Amino acid sequence: MDNAPRDAETEASSPQLARVLPELIETLQRLIEAQKRPSDDSTQSVSQRFQRGPQDLVGKALDEEFHGEQLKNIPKWGEVQTLSLKTIDEENDACIAKYEEFWKGREGTATEIETTNKVYQSAFERFQDLYHCLGWRENEDLTLNYDYLCKHRHFLTESIFAIEAYRMKRLPRLQEPTRASFEYSRLPRLLLILIRIESRQNMQNKCRRTTDDSTTNRDDNNEGMNASTILAVLIQVARTIDRVSWADGLNQMSLQELLRICYSHRVLEQPRSNDPERQYEHMQLLTDCLMALDFTHRFREIRPPLSRTFYFRYLEEPIHKILDMIIAHDQNSRGIDHFKQLRLQESASPTFIPEHFTIQYLQDFGNLEIEWTDCLDEHLKIYSGRNAIRIFAHPTFFYNCIDLFREGRDYVEPIFKELSLTYALLFRPSSKRKLNTLNKLIMVKNSSHGCVTFAGHETPHFYRARKYGEYENMAAENIDLDISRSPTKGLLDNFFRCSLPPSLQAAFNISQPTKMIQKTHSRDQHKTTQATMHQILALASCPEDIKFMVISLLQRDFGEFEAFQTFPYFGSRLRQLKTYLDTHQPRTWLQLWRDDRDIRAWWMFWTFVGFVCSIIPACIVVAILQTVYFARFHYMTV
């Protein structure tokens, strides 16, 4: 009874609450009515919501198998003729011999070889910790281990990376001078590939684990893939993809052909024709290896839902079509993505100011975090939730010139060079004095009277500078770039503003990677670190990815304005970045100082601020003097 007057008083004293209550009651009534509707409507809405797109062939095959409409006629293969062990050994020996012959006389100094061997041994010994840094943290019992990685090391480096060395032979200025430096630089990417394979296999083996697995050697367990088989399949897939003939710009090999090669080389044991389950497992492993070797698209730790129906239906399709189907399914799926790409309109402006795309401007004015990515498709994209722009960390991936996905995309001309230009935009100096020093280096590099080298080797030419004729009057000068000394170190202020790429930090055991490398979210595979880029100066030699980014600064002397059409592949992302910067409003004094998009407004604002800042102290001084004068006058009169 005592609460009634109190409630009436509250309602009378809060007219806003009185207006909200009827609306709340009406909303509750609508919810109750919705629950009383027939279930057919809700079922229909759910089916419409999750209706597969016309290009989602992966999802359609999965739905058919889920509803019991499995492929009735499973293709029966004839027995694959296996090669003799002698023939297989001869092929392996020939591949290794070709690789060693390529580097004959260029193996490296004793110190370089020892350094490379030590970093590989250290990385393989720490593989479980590295897996927790860069892969899944929950798994403890891994398939791959130190012994098997050391055993297959030379076959892994030869099969996965030898094609890069062979194809860079036509660009000798880009090629590493020694085998030791080549393999040293490829360690971060090799570890990522192994971690990707481990993540997929670990998930599969975890589901199969039985109660007595603790007393069973996993490598002797016939129910799952052992480490030797996994690494042998990875080696065979990499070697086959790199060496097959190409037609119409794409690899036309089918998954069935690749599987037959694995059977013929005794890498996998061909199952019986009435054992489709075993064939299905083999095709899953081949797909895992193909996706682990590719760095153009995002690698997902959870295996794509490729059903038996899908595999047996598209087994004879070229590999690039199957991978395109997987990408189409990923784009159609509504998975949980905690940090989605920020959707922005592309700027209609034909040009942009290069100074606005430097790391310093993006950080100070754009308030963007700089994050490294292992996926080319994420390069220069802005991600909401973290307010971060991502940069591709593995430009040496382009050295293999392979695109498993699309036709009409050449990874040497022009995208390879265009990626170099994006690094030149991001890392170019911000101060006028350092820009003048950089322009001098560019002039020396492009003149016929001088030479710019990196660690004693001449830097490559991707583009001729615009004022090439003026360079012929320069005095001869030879400059060797050293990122630990001036003037090169001073030119890399924007480069050193970034953190270390997590894969590089983990591979070379810099600054406690197990503690420093963190996930952006508990359910997101992207990794970040606070370790500073300056710590690469302590490495025995500069990794090729870092070297590529540094040399990119010398590839083009940008003008006051640049055209977007210079970037046919990354131009759309640069246009979106310009839209982001154009719509961004400064919130701090530093951002106000960096906001020079409208130079007249900038001068008016800071002139006014300077005027006010000079007037106010003057007024204070005058007020103090007047106070002293009147106080003295009052004292004298008294």
* Residue that the structure tokens 């009378």 belong to: 12
> What is the amino acid identity at position 415?
I
Put simply, whether the predicted model's pTM sits higher than 0.85 gets the answer no
The confidence score (pLDDT) of residue 129 equals: 92
Q: Which of the two residues, 57 and 450, has the higher pLDDT score? A: 57
Q: Model confidence at 276, in pLDDT bands (50, 70, 90)?
A: confident
Give the separation between CA 511 and CA 200, rounded to whole angstroms.
Answer: 28
The listed range with the strongest mean pLDDT (2-6, 316-320, 473-477) is 316-320
545: pLDDT strictly greater than 60: yes
Percentage of residues of the chain with pLDDT beyond 70: 73
Work out the mean pLDDT of the chain and round it to a whole number: 80
292: pLDDT strictly greater than 70: yes
The confidence score (pLDDT) of residue 409 equals: 47
The confidence score (pLDDT) of residue 39 equals: 43
Q: Model confidence at 588, in pLDDT bands (50, 70, 90)?
A: low
Q: Which of the two residues, 441 and 266, has the higher pLDDT score? A: 266
The confidence score (pLDDT) of residue 260 equals: 92
- With a CB cutoff of 8 Å and minimum separation 6, the contacts of 127 are 142, 144, 145, 146, 149, 191, 194
Give the separation between CA 37 and CA 45, rounded to whole angstroms.
Answer: 13
pLDDT digits (tens, 9 = 90+) for 447-459: 766 788 887 777 7
8-state DSSP, 532: B
533: pLDDT strictly greater than 90: yes
User: b/e for 36-73, b at 16 or more Cβ within 10 A?
Assistant: eeeeeeeeeeeeeeeebeeebbbbbbbebbeeeeebee
Tokens of 109: 């100094």
Give the separation between CA 485 and CA 549, rounded to whole angstroms.
Answer: 17
Mean pLDDT of 373-384: 92
Weakest mean pLDDT among 253-267, 317-331, 536-550, 624-638: 624-638
Give the separation between CA 53 and CA 5, rounded to whole angstroms.
Answer: 60
What does R_g of the chain's alpha carbons equal in angstroms? 31
Cis previous bond, 304, omega within 30:
no
The confidence score (pLDDT) of residue 591 equals: 59
3-class secondary structure, 140 = coil
Sign of the C-alpha dihedral computed for residues 276, 278, 281 and 286 taken in this order: negative
Give the separation between CA 449 and CA 445, rounded to whole angstroms.
Answer: 9
pLDDT digits (tens, 9 = 90+) for 191-245: 999 999 998 887 665 554 443 444 344 444 434 578 999 999 999 999 988 765 5
